Amino acid sequence: METHHIILCVDDEEDNLLVFRSFFRKYYTVLTAQSGEEALELLKKQPVDLIVSDQRMPRMTGVELFERIRDEHPDVVRIILTGYSDIQAVIDAINKGKVYHFATKPWDTDELKNILDRALEAYTLRQLNRRLVEENMELSLRTERQEKANILSQFELLKSQINPHFLFNSMNILAALIPQDPAKAVEFTHRFSKVYRKLLELREQPLVALSQELDFADSYLYLQKMRFADSLNVEIEVPATAWRHCLPPFTLQILLENAVKHNMASAEHPLHIRVGLTPNGKLEVSNNLQLRGSPAESTHLGLLILKTRYQLITPEPVEFERTEQAYIVRVPLIEEA
């Protein structure tokens, strides 16, 4: 099916560009460039949705090209092609060029087509999400406080169901697991479906039991552990006596996602998250502070809306604390009605 997406292929070998164009022009508007410099000049004149670049090119590598365009064209989806087993190039592409995906050369046309389709779908969802944020903020300025809080809460619930980044990361993990470990792939699918089912079940409820939040967080963290392995450590110590207390749905997931989104996590520097109770009975989520070098793309609404939702149901405030070593959020637990 034809689309209006515009993609740019960058490769110093003209034969590769001809093959790429002849196959993919059936599906997209295809532009080509034989160097990073040519690609940069083209981007000044022509907006594109996605760039596929060879890694090993003279004068400017694919990673260097992506570093150059990352700030000026942050929305463009970036995919690196590498024809040699240089794991460092792949790591650089992910860390420096912020690539969506990498593929090996020679590439399989059907496989690369699937990668491009998924990437462009994520791009479309991200653009839609941004427009929703802008429209939502404009509407909020024209409404009363109660109406604004309700609209923003509805939006945040929809957005937190599963954002495109989390969804596509999960699908990529599953795709890698199927040939490597079918049994684990089945378990991953079960946990993922549980997360999605819970999101659908709980999205309309104003309050849920802490036990439900902890159960949901367990499945959510299982998916995150598949991605980060030992780079992510989560300790949950909440006594059973507090499980019947209530809180707005997805509160814990929002706080966990906030910690993962804004902090680095590696084998050398694991991200540690602790969930527990304070002496006065609040739920406390804390993590060691190791902020990313480049701030994660964010609407900056998650914690604000969490605070607003609490203001509608209890006079007890949500507390935010940042020290040199940690970031801490404390939220009230509400007595069972």
Please say whether the beta carbons of 257 and 298 come within 8 A. no
- Strand 208-209 vs strand 29-33: parallel, antiparallel, or unpaired? unpaired
Per-residue pLDDT of the chain (337 residues; tens, 9 = 90+): 445 799 999 999 999 999 999 999 999 999 999 999 999 999 999 999 999 998 888 889 888 898 888 888 888 888 888 765 556 666 666 666 567 777 777 778 888 888 888 888 877 887 777 777 777 766 666 555 555 566 555 545 544 544 555 566 677 778 878 888 888 888 888 888 877 777 677 666 778 899 999 998 888 898 888 878 899 999 999 999 999 999 988 889 889 988 988 899 999 999 999 999 999 999 999 999 998 876 555 555 667 778 877 887 888 999 999 999 999 999 999 986 5
Q: What local confidence, expressed as pLDDT, does residue 97 receive?
A: 57
Which residues lie below 8 Å from residue 194, measured CB to CB, with a gap of 6+? 219
Structural domains in the chain, CATH included, are: 6-110 (3.40.50.2300), 143-331 (3.30.565.10)
275: its two tokens: 């969930």
State residue 92's pLDDT score.
Answer: 65
Q: Which residues contact 328 (CB under 8 A, 6 or more apart)?
A: 284, 285, 286, 319, 320, 321, 322
Is 0.85 surpassed by the pTM of this model? no
Per-residue pLDDT at 2: 45
Structure tokens at 112: 């690369």
Q: Please tell me whether residue 298 adopts helix, strand or coil conformation.
A: coil
Structure confidence at residue 9 (pLDDT): 95
**Distance in angstroms (rounded) separating the CA atoms of residues 254 and 220:** 11
Q: What letters, b where the CB count within 10 A reaches 16 and e where it falls short, cover 188-205?
A: beebbebbeebbeebeee
**How many helical (H) and strand (E) elements, i.e. helices and strands, does the chain have?**
11, 12
